Structure 1
């Protein structure tokens, strides 16, 4: 890749070191190694690869504020949108200052399936630090829908191929791919209707333009509370908030592995192990009662901050999965 990356041999060594680091979960570092470090020695950038005000901004800014107070240096959120998020992600993949990080949605794992050359390899050019939060993706119908249960909806969809439509926030979005995964695993012929964002998709469902929609709780909760929408199922691996009574799609659709809207913190591939360890130590207080946990709970998301292993596993699973699903769905690559 023409990204100013190190030559092949050092990169192979870096990959081996990264795997060892992830296996240890930033653990095994001697305490003196942390004590001797002077990091951060300058302001730290947390790049959000989307426009200001998006869902990735919320946890990023709360984390930046927390780390600024804990470490005595400015942690600044920098919005660098463009190319579906690839512009900001590339900036972090190419960073060599030791003070540039990425806070992204699950789009970081999706873009390589949608773009012929996103300019980064998510498994080689980024080092997972931690998942910050995750929210289930919900399969929703209107509150007055005749489909009160997932089983009845699936039966109806099978009996009317090509006639049952689902709304999403746009082609290639995580919620769109949640629907494509359902089509592939359940053998359904659903009609995808993309909108320019989650709010228009919810509005379209409420107006009767589509039969159902895949949305995150962030957009769905106000309509659920008002009774305007109903949860048929969660696309997550198992039942949970904000609709614990709704089944997981995996309960009735074999092979549906679960899809979430998740947020992750990454560094460039050569992030020093002691820096990752320091960050996890300083982020630990946010797992309990904190502004981050409170805000995520309000949005129907769970605060995680569980270290690099879970995020690395998520990336290893999702990057090839979405490439396969995009190809099967016939979604054109840019």
Structure 2
């Protein structure tokens, strides 16, 4: 009397086993070898430190070594180009600022790849901001004073290069306020900071961890941070939104985890989950705060939506600058 139910149960189990086996056969084994993680900044930069922290945790999670490779150049596009040209098997990844996708396609017309088509944005790992600082000789102590001074007299600001976050932050600041300042692009944030310290230029939007020691020492004056939220490193420095009474003024940037386009969905899902778990861990977030970074760890859908929104925000700025680099 139990023969039919038992037979049905056996058939169901067999189908389940076959189904599971089929799914396992279709899912690619990952990872099968060390993972390369390309970074477009030199060693010691906030994005490099973030990438190395992520690489260490990803290695622990996946049970395979993750090797960080620095390929600075072309506004961090050199590293992204290596990722775009790699086999889409999850063994070559990149950590890039969002400007690689939002700005660089407009600024570098001769790139060998299309960042908007050839890269998959798996996660926003972290967000970062810039601090507006000026040399004490300018006499300005607030962002509003700087706007007034820049409208009345000639002023110069420095950045770490054309099209980098500090340059973009300054130009959006100027466009929003109607102020005018001349731009001098240096070869990286270190010489740009040195120029502001020496009084060769008046001001600059630069990385908070880089300039904060000079602010503390009285060698630079901090006017504002570009994000909508105060900096954890400098909570007493107002945001631009507050300093200029413009709640919509948020000039933030993001670090993206990227892979070649056409990455198999199971591998993409595994990396999305890993990014979310790693970047939201309390100890990781604490370590990132020391670099003035905020851990995010979004999924791919949120990352792509953020990139789309940031592209729409930055394209008018870049086009107004008529900025194009070889």
Question: Structure 1 113/253 Cα, relative in aligned 2: closer, same or farther at 3 Å?
Answer: farther
Residues of 2 paired with 1:250 and 1:43: CA distance? 44
The separation in 2 between residues aligned to 1:244 and 1:140, in whole angstroms, is 15
Structure 1 unaligned runs (5+)? 1-29
| 1:148 alignment counterpart | 141
Give the match for residue 239 of structure 2. Answer: 248
Give how far 1:123 is off.
Answer: 2.6
Shift of 1:37: 5.2
After TM superposition, list the pairs within 5 Å mapping 1:137-176 onto structure 2: 137-143=130-136, 145-160=138-153, 163-176=154-167
Q: Is the 8 A contact 2:233 2:289 kept in 1?
A: no
The count of aligned residue pairs is: 301
The 5-angstrom pairing of residues 261-276 of structure 1 reads 261-276=253-268
Q: Report if the CA contact (8 A) 2:148-2:179 is conserved.
A: no
1:258 matched residue in structure 2 = 250
- TM-score, length-scaled by structure 2: 0.82
Q: Whose Rg is larger?
A: 2
Q: Aligned pair in 2 of structure 1 residues 255, 48: CA closer, same or farther (>3 Å)?
A: same
Does the alignment pair 1:74 with 2:74? no
Matching of residue 288 in structure 1 with residue 281 in structure 2: yes
Contact 1:181 1:256 in 2 (8 A): no
CA contact (8 A) 1:33 1:274 kept: no
1:279 aligns with: 271
The alpha-carbon deviation at position 225 of structure 1 amounts to: 2.9
Unaligned runs of 5+ in 2: 1-19
After the TM superposition, which residues 144-223 of structure 1 pair with which residues of structure 2 at under 5 Å, given as runs? 145-160=138-153, 163-223=154-214
8 Å CA contact retained: 2:54, 2:278: no
Q: Report deviation, 1:314.
A: 2.8
Aligned-partner Cα distance in 2 for 1:64–1:327: 36
User: Partners in 2 of 1:258 and 1:314 — Cα distance?
Assistant: 14
Deviation at 1:122, TM superposition (A): 2.7
Helix, strand or coil: the match of 1:241?
coil
Deviations 1:10-60 (A, max 9, x none): xxxxxxxxxxxxxxxxxxxx9x97996521122211111344443322111
Distance of aligned partners of 1:272 and 1:241 in 2 relative to their CA distance in 1, 3 Å threshold = same
Q: Is the 8 A contact 1:103 1:266 kept in 2?
A: yes
Query: Which of 280, 298, 308 is the aligned partner of 1:306?
Result: 298
Q: Which residue of 2 aligns with 1:329?
A: 321
Offset of residue 188 of structure 1: 1.8
- Assess if the C-alpha contact under 8 Å between 2:233 and 2:290 holds in 1: no
What displacement does 1:165 show? 1.4
Mapped to 2, the partners of 1:136 and 1:51 lie a distance apart of 18
Runs of 4+ in 1 over 4 A off after TM superposition: 32-37, 253-257
Structure 1 position 82, deviation (Å): 3.9
C-alpha displacement at 1:215, in angstroms? 0.4
What is the TM-score when the length of structure 1 is the normalising length?
0.80
Q: In 2, are the aligned partners of 1:231 and 1:243 still within 8 Å (CA)?
A: no
Contact 1:112/1:323 (CA < 8 Å) preserved in 2?
no
CA RMSD of the aligned region, Å?
2.7
How far did residue 265 of structure 1 move?
0.4
Is the contact made by 2:231 and 2:292 (CA closer than 8 Å) also made in structure 1? no
